[in-house]
Amino acid sequence: MNDRELGCNSGGGQFMDRGRMNQNGVVQPLLTDLYQITMAYAYWKSDKTDDQAVFDLFFRNNPFHGEFTIFAGLEECLKFLDSFHYSQSDIEYLKQTLPEGIENEFFEYLGNLTARDVTLYAIDEGTVAFPRVPIIKIEGPLIIVQLLETTLLTLVNYASLMATNAARYRMVAGKHVKLLEFGLRRAQGPDGGLSASKYSYTGGFDGTSNVLAGKLFNIPVKGTHAHAYITSFSSVGELKTRLLKHKQTGIMEDLLEHAIRHRQMLSHVLDVSTEESSEGELAAMVSYAIAFPDGFMALVDTYDVKRSGLLNFSAVALALNDLGYHALGIRIDSGDLAYLSCLAREAFEKVAERFKVPWFNKLTIVASNDINEDTILSLNEQGHKIDCFGIGTHLVTCQRQPALGCVYKLVEINGQPRIKLSQDVEKVTMPGNKSAYRLYSADGHALIDLLQKVTEPPPAVGQKVLCRHPFQESKRAYVIPSHVESLYKVYWKSGKICQQLPTLEQVREKVQISLKTLRNDHKRTLNPTPYKVAVSDNLYNFIHDLWLQNAPIGELS
């Protein structure tokens, strides 16, 4: 499909304002949980303003029963740090809202707070990420890094969930099928809708119906029309105009007359009666074709795809052809999408042959209606002729798992490691300031992610590294990497973004490149193999010593 292949579309780059594009007005320091600010006061009162902390932002489980996650939302986090500042009215609000007795100097302190002394390390946006490997690591004064927690989590959690969901839809649909995001009406509110459009594009969708997302993020906007357009006509008598200029001659011709003539002939070719087809639908299609002669894409399931929609569409498409225009295709929004798409493709092939219009074979068939990953898999099994899926509800609401559980945990304070213990081993945090490496095999596949203490030398190509399961002593393996990737880059330091940030398009490409480094068994939909995340021997011993030191010894009586 090329750019003109879905009814109405546009780029939007010329309207892009990079500053505005990436920072949503709602993202500001007060977009946080109250407890961050009350803790800030208590830290301040306890004279902890000079304490230096390290926090890890990570998730514990991959979403959607999968074994990978796409990291997204980093650019928004950096923009947030860049603009972090409590306004005068924020301070006024906090004065009224926090409990009485808060000292005025604290508000002065808050009023002067910025993220200048914070350093943020992250893996690249669009990279595949795995449980327990921090995707962001933040160092800086305890109070400020604590105050960032909730906002950073809200910026990363849904973005990464959405990008992962979209990437999964892309994987099951295959690379040749177009995917359009149609979810704004069903999204979790306006901001959820915008994020869904942006991050589904990141994950591999081709466009969105969301016009504001198109303008803000320079995403292709595409669309067809709704059933209302068809049902707004009940007879051809309602057509106020039937005339359309011939594309080459410029002579006005009666499009309806052409369509009616073709419809008669088509009824024999498609073996349906013109009597059974809807006249209102024909009128609606003629009128839509007059409005968009070069972009005619019609919804064919309003009454009956076989007996009415396909007949009327083909008649109007042939009429347009008489006047020098090529229709684009159809959308089917109900019924058995595999069967109906095959039926439509067969009808187009017959018309192509009988009317000597070979391009009819290539008409686009768009399918929509409550589509999810499983529907696409099932349609693939059945065999279908769909070129494009329009997907809304289940994509944007992340039906199978509505939240990613990224957390933000203190791992070091004033150079001292901190560990959070839990009955649930999975929830025990990995203490200390860590580096993360991805080790690759000779065939270019990612083998394992390895966490080490920052003080350890990085693993070297061709040298055996002992990789240990962080909690199960017996699980270990030697790995001889053919390539070693250091996962963290410094993205924010001394009050500045310190990497050239990729465009959304580049992040989108990165997703596909990064997914290619994963073996297929990690990506399959049913029971995928878990990707290994390990710690160095040194880090393993460090964690377990600290665990023992911190775990109270119970007494049985």
Ligand X SMILES: O=C(O)c1cccnc1
Ligand Y SMILES: O=P(O)(O)OC[C@H]1O[C@H](OP(=O)(O)OP(=O)(O)O)[C@H](O)[C@@H]1O
Ligand Z SMILES: Nc1ncnc2c1ncn2[C@@H]1O[C@H](COP(=O)(O)OP(=O)(O)OP(=O)(O)O)[C@@H](O)[C@H]1O
Q: Which helix (H) or strand (E) holds 477?
A: strand 476-479
Contact 178, 200 (CB under 8 A): no
Beta bridge partners of 497: 492
Length of the chain: 557
Q: Closer CB to ligand Z, residue 67 or residue 387?
A: 387
Site residue total, ligand X (CB under 6 A):
8
Tokens read off for 549: 């030191």
Interaction of residue 374 with ligand Y, rule CB under 6 A? no
Interaction of residue 49 with ligand Z, rule CB under 6 A? no
Interaction of residue 371 with ligand Z, rule CB under 6 A? yes
Residues 297-336 that bind ligand X (CB under 6 A): 331
Interaction of residue 392 with ligand Y, rule CB under 6 A? yes
Site residue total, ligand Z (CB under 6 A):
12
Residues 290-309 that bind ligand Y (CB under 6 A): none
Residue span binding ligand Y (CB under 6 A) among the ranges 4-12, 168-176, 386-394, 500-508: 386-394
Interaction of residue 406 with ligand Z, rule CB under 6 A? no
Q: Closer CB to ligand X, residue 225 or residue 522?
A: 225
Candidates 209, 435, 514, 536; binder of ligand X (CB under 6 A) is 209
Expressed in percent and rounded to 5, the helix, strand and coil fractions of the chain are 40, 20, 40
Q: Which helix (H) or strand (E) holds 9?
A: strand 8-10
Distances (CA, A) of 367 to 201, 344, 379: 19, 11, 11
The conformation of residue 520, written as its DSSP 8-state character, comes to H
- Alpha-carbon distance 294 to 446, whole Å? 46
Candidates 111, 220, 324, 335; binder of ligand Z (CB under 6 A) is 335
Candidates 378, 393, 397, 550; binder of ligand Z (CB under 6 A) is 378
**Least distance in angstroms from the C-beta of 215 to ligand X:** 16
Residues 331-360 that bind ligand X (CB under 6 A): 331
Which residue type occupies 60?
A: R
| Binding letters toward ligand X, positions 360-389, x by CB under 6 A | --------x---------------------
Interaction of residue 227 with ligand Y, rule CB under 6 A? yes
Interaction of residue 390 with ligand X, rule CB under 6 A? yes
Contact 79, 18 (CB under 8 A): no
- Alpha-carbon distance 208 to 179, whole Å? 9
- Alpha-carbon distance 431 to 544, whole Å? 10
**Least distance in angstroms from the C-beta of 461 to ligand Z:** 48
Contact 477, 467 (CB under 8 A): yes
**Least distance in angstroms from the C-beta of 309 to ligand X:** 15
Q: Closer CB to ligand Z, residue 55 or residue 389?
A: 389
Q: In what order do the strands lie in the sheet with 388-391?
A: 8-10, 221-223, 207-208, 178-181, 388-391, 364-368, 329-332, 297-299
Site residue total, ligand Y (CB under 6 A):
13
Candidates 22, 218, 375, 514; binder of ligand Z (CB under 6 A) is 375
Tokens 């995001």 sit on residue: 181
Q: Closer CB to ligand Y, residue 196 or residue 371?
A: 371
The conformation of residue 303, written as its DSSP 8-state character, comes to S
Q: Closer CB to ligand Y, residue 124 or residue 333?
A: 333
Partner from ligand X, ligand Y, ligand Z, none binding residue 338, C-beta < 5-8 Å depending on class: ligand Z
**Least distance in angstroms from the C-beta of 378 to ligand X:** 21
CA angle 82, 126, 36 (to 5 degrees): 40
Partner from ligand Z, ligand X, ligand Y, none binding residue 114, C-beta < 5-8 Å depending on class: none
Interaction of residue 361 with ligand Z, rule CB under 6 A? no
Partner from ligand X, ligand Z, ligand Y, none binding residue 224, C-beta < 5-8 Å depending on class: ligand X
Residues 322-341 that bind ligand Y (CB under 6 A): 333
**Least distance in angstroms from the C-beta of 181 to ligand X:** 9
Residue 435 φ/ψ, nearest 5 degrees = -105, 160
The residues, ordered by sequence, that sit 6+ positions from 485 with a Cβ below 8 Å of its Cβ are: 437, 438, 439, 440
Q: Which helix (H) or strand (E) holds 253?
A: strand 252-254
The residues, ordered by sequence, that sit 6+ positions from 35 with a Cβ below 8 Å of its Cβ are: none
The burial of 228, by beta-carbon neighbours within 10 Å (0-12 exposed, 13-18 middle, 19 or more buried), is given as exposed
Residues binding ligand Z (CB under 6 A): 334-338, 369-371, 375, 378-379, 382
Residues binding ligand X (CB under 6 A): 182, 209, 223-224, 331, 368, 390, 392
Residues binding ligand Y (CB under 6 A): 182, 185-186, 227, 333, 368-371, 390-393
